[in-house]
Structure 1
């Protein structure tokens, strides 16, 4: 019997099988509109994969489970719908944990499905057993253990809806093998969240009126746009509100793209490595409308010095975030787009802030993002990022790992649209960039995807390049190679008297040759004169390209606010720290 005949016979047999728990799980995914999933096969998850064989859901086999979680995370960030990742029990599930924790910190929608040993073996230290729900409960919105084959599909649907609705985040369903192998089970209904999950919409009208009056009476108003603006699909409402009322806009790092950075009102990103003008605007504003932000320490620096003169109107869909880190004078719990419309309707007039806008423009001129690029010195990473930004369309998606390259990318790329900046913010996960680029490209196949990575970050998940080659994904990876874990090295120089312990990587591989070994295009970039042509060559290649961009190892990231410092006292060079 030929191989094709064997495949047909297998498929025909599959059509005659009784409905199983695994088939119910896959049916729940289909009911939820899932079209793609990322995962790694294994023994306990095998029944789910067997059911996927009959499904139209596209499955991307990743090289490592952590890569599957990051790809699903980025897929969710780009589409707004939960990305799905799968892994087997034991090490498969534990390998997902870093990616799940990353999604939890950044409120990214994700559904993780993990195999588990049969129910009667749970707790007996069986082969590849781990307490997956116990391990993941602190880093998920909910972690379910499936105990009943008739309800397992509905459990998966509920987890999907929970990940998607309200403040988004990851959910997990642990699937014992006996549950997924059970036959003649009930089929699931549509994906619906638990009845106890209440998602707020409109904010309290009295609080809205109070906040609107404060904004109208402000002399130095600022809008702080966080990642919740993008996840709540409120970018258009925020842009319109800011422009109609002439209010400068500062973003958090997760909020980059919520407001067009080319607009005069854009002060860009604030915080530890934010622009000097954004940090000055925060420091001197008298009313702040903060939308969809959790006021993390990388944004605020020292809480006592954050926006010291400002009344805070805080819009968030999660009531637990209100006054958690920064006291809210006007708490506005609700959906970001809805509350912005409420405020717009309640605003008695636009604030009289012409002088304030002029002052903000002056700060832009006084503290521009700038760098020196002498011809006789190695390539500056900022120059490379700017060249990429100029060469690519406005809707290009940028992913990164974590470190200096991440900061140069967010500082020197010109972001004009939401869901085009995809990075690891709260957890700060090195290695995020490449698998995230894969997830982003699957989510948006018609958009360009550029991954900026560091040599240290790239080495953590480089194996995922095999996936990009196998799936023929047209992505470009630019490794800003300074032969170091650059951000650690920068902190050692600034705060540890230059003791560079375990931060320099002079033993790294030739990344262009490594890329070619994987089957990708490998390029090396060392000279300013070659930047434009190398970028174009990478973009023209039909498939994944990797550029080993050998940058000046002495270059550091500035501006910088020391940890716990005051945003208004940012350093422009090491001597200022």
Structure 2
């Protein structure tokens, strides 16, 4: 890496800050216009660098943990981190750093922080930044950049990071000078969590971080006007309240915005007060306890049959903090076709973007639900509707067959871990069939315990996310919380190098590999829609993950049958450090129910032959 264009501090650069005591006394009356010189040893000004200002801004904003990979252009910032209170976790790959920071923020409820150098370091962050953007997760990325004079000249490890990341960030910045860089970083950190959360990025040219400055960063504040009004219009609230009161078949749909807006308790109280059945989105899992009789679990492509039936037949949908993505809605024209829609969201751009809102309520989830509570006079008369929802639960239960003469079922593994752990256990996943089974067969009762990649669907998310989740739990002084990563063989192979980080840091995480030697969801779609042609989906060349885990220094266990599951779960959870359990599961098992892409939620398939 070439540092030839950097601008290091020159020897004696701060010499003029010292007091010269050998010259004539300016206070002897000979020159009354000269102010008195401070005593020897008291500095006139504090000279720091742009990098030190960056770190000072992060500390002032409350950042406690950072994930990253060192490199040439970001090196001044890393040097400033050397004596910082911020704990830095060196990751094996920049994508892992972004996912770990993302998950840290999801669990801790504050912005995650990741760092990378210029060029490939920055572009390796992009997948993780895009993931956070799609899921509205607060995160700040700091990237090194070539010196300002070299920008645009195709210098070594130069990339237009601001241009590359503009479509996948809430906002990004190019730092222009050492005097203002601290304020820019503080602003970016604050902005990531204001209103609708999302990732922000600051690109840091190396000369800016090396240059001297005597400016201290101010408080971390988002730009004026970016903190939206938390309250919805009173007349809109009144109209929505009347619609809810008169509903015969009301449903609450709680999305990820309920959790991000710290509105879970308010949402639970609202649904219980008015006895309204609750459906969640996948990102909204945990916002409402799944063991509550009002809960119908989550809806969408692989949601429960009873959740999808409730969505299909409701006459009043109270949707909170959801963007109505296609995996939830299926075909828009068949989504909640009989319903008047009350849509609460902090972002006005989401209102009527996909699903038309009859009653648009723009504001903070908790605040608007409290407004609605104050405006509703009578509970909807919905006894028959609640009974119908209970009947759908009995008609379309979440079950699976587990014959003794067939391979181990992945659902059994998920249930075994659920039974062996506490309600506050954090579950992370990669993306694929294992993700669906982990969301279907685990009973979630608390927010911020389900950590996954939703909108972008990023394979490889699970393991680095488990590292970030573990670090967040430890930072919250909750070292006894279990962190379980359910991963697929194909998904784990994409980021398995991060296991070295878990071993180095001795992180207490358990990775349960649901190994079917396929990219399972692709194989399932190929069987259903491509006449069973398994092009590039067969992964029968997988390594032995238990032995790989041991090579990394983790506990490695292989499981092939039902009688081995309980002992393996117990051993992995009891192990002090990272454990990997390679569960060899039925390669032909499919995720059901399933709504074909673009189909009607109420016409879900319960078996392969219905697809």
Q: TM-score range by the shorter chain?
A: over 0.9
Q: C-alpha distance in 2, partners of 1:337/1:104?
A: 22
* Deviation per residue, 1:349-391 (Å, 9 max, x gap): 1101111000000000000001000111110000110111111
Partner of 1:314: 343
Does residue 282 (structure 1) correspond to residue 311 (structure 2)? The answer is yes
* Deviation per residue, 1:215-259 (Å, 9 max, x gap): 011000000000000000000000001011100000000000000
Q: C-alpha distance in 2, partners of 1:264/1:22?
A: 54
Q: Is the 8 A contact 2:460 2:491 kept in 1?
A: yes
Q: C-alpha distance in 2, partners of 1:54/1:18?
A: 17
2:283 to 254, 262, 278: 254
Partner of 1:538: 572
* Deviation per residue, 1:145-180 (Å, 9 max, x gap): 000211100000000011011100000000000000
Q: C-alpha distance in 1, partners of 2:49/2:588?
A: 59
1:357 to 375, 386, 391: 386
Partner of 1:240: 269
* Deviation per residue, 1:74-132 (Å, 9 max, x gap): 01111111100000000000000000000000000000000000000000000000000
Q: C-alpha distance in 1, partners of 2:607/2:63?
A: 48
Q: Which has the higher helix share?
A: 1
Deviation of 1:458 (Å) = 0.2
Partner of 1:477: 511
Q: C-alpha distance in 1, partners of 2:339/2:133?
A: 30
* Deviation per residue, 1:268-314 (Å, 9 max, x gap): 01000000000000000000000000000000000000000000000
2:364 to 332, 335, 356: 335
2:547 to 503, 513, 516: 513
- Secondary structure of 1:569's match? coil
Q: C-alpha distance in 1, partners of 2:219/2:403?
A: 61
2:174 to 117, 142, 145: 145
Partner of 1:570: 604
Q: Is the 8 A contact 1:47 1:180 kept in 2?
A: yes
Partner of 2:495: 461
Does residue 42 (structure 1) correspond to residue 71 (structure 2)? The answer is yes
Q: Is the 8 A contact 1:560 1:570 kept in 2?
A: yes
Deviation of 1:185 (Å) = 3.3
Partner of 1:189: 218
Q: Is the 8 A contact 1:149 1:185 kept in 2?
A: no
* Deviation per residue, 1:190-234 (Å, 9 max, x gap): 110011314120000100000011001100000000000000000
- Equivalence map 1:365-384=2 (5 Å): 365-384=394-413
Q: What runs of 5+ residues in structure 1 fail to find an aligned partner?
A: 1-12
What is the root-mean-square deviation in Å for CA atoms of aligned residues?
1.0
Does residue 133 (structure 1) correspond to residue 167 (structure 2)? The answer is no
- Secondary structure of 2:48's match? coil
Q: What runs of 5+ residues in structure 2 fail to find an aligned partner?
A: 1-13, 15-42
TM-score (norm 1): 0.97
* Deviation per residue, 1:408-450 (Å, 9 max, x gap): 0000000000000000000000000000000000000222100
Q: Which moved more, 1:521-530 or 1:250-259?
A: 521-530
Does residue 97 (structure 1) correspond to residue 126 (structure 2)? The answer is yes
Q: Is the 8 A contact 1:141 1:163 kept in 2?
A: yes
Deviation of 1:18 (Å) = 3.3
* Deviation per residue, 1:475-532 (Å, 9 max, x gap): 0000000000000000000000000000010010000000000000000111111211
- Secondary structure of 2:144's match? strand
Partner of 1:116: 145
Q: Is the 8 A contact 1:24 1:185 kept in 2?
A: no
* Deviation per residue, 1:516-558 (Å, 9 max, x gap): 0000000011111121111010000000000000000010000
- Secondary structure of 1:164's match? coil
- Equivalence map 1:146-161=2 (5 Å): 146-161=175-190
- Secondary structure of 2:142's match? strand
- Equivalence map 1:387-426=2 (5 Å): 387-426=416-455
- Secondary structure of 1:174's match? strand
- Secondary structure of 1:394's match? coil
* Deviation per residue, 1:553-576 (Å, 9 max, x gap): 010000000000000000001111
Q: C-alpha distance in 2, partners of 1:491/1:407?
A: 14
Q: C-alpha distance in 2, partners of 1:525/1:422?
A: 25
Q: Is the 8 A contact 2:50 2:178 kept in 1?
A: yes
- Secondary structure of 2:333's match? helix
* Deviation per residue, 1:305-363 (Å, 9 max, x gap): 00000000000000000000000000000000000000001001110111100000000
Q: C-alpha distance in 1, partners of 2:65/2:339?
A: 45
Deviation of 1:20 (Å) = 0.5
Q: C-alpha distance in 1, partners of 2:565/2:290?
A: 24
Q: C-alpha distance in 2, partners of 1:250/1:51?
A: 47
- Secondary structure of 2:224's match? coil
Q: C-alpha distance in 1, partners of 2:367/2:462?
A: 33
Partner of 1:493: 527
Partner of 1:552: 586
Q: Is the 8 A contact 2:178 2:213 kept in 1?
A: no
Partner of 2:257: 228
1:293 to 287, 301, 322: 322
Deviation of 1:473 (Å) = 0.3
Q: C-alpha distance in 1, partners of 2:285/2:434?
A: 16
